[in-house]
Amino acid sequence: MYRVIEAFADCVDNLHIYQPGDSFPRAGLSVSEKRLKELAGNGNRIGKPVIVQIEEKPRKKVPK
């Protein structure tokens, strides 16, 4: 899962606007590994990372 850190309009997704704190990609959208690397690096139109990968922590089981 990725989290948006810089607002941007996704030119590959009909200029869908992402705001800081949004999840990327949005529900129902598949994104290539190449596109994820582009947005997480400097090789995009903004020239800086706009998303960061976040680790999903496993949920702790609550004892009964």
pLDDT in tens, 12-57: 999 999 999 999 999 999 999 999 999 999 999 999 999 999 987 7
Nearest Cα to 44, choosing from 31, 55, 57? 31
Please determine, for residue 62, whether its predicted confidence score (pLDDT) is greater than 90.
no
Full-model pTM? 0.82
Phi, psi of 62 (to 5 degrees): -90, 125
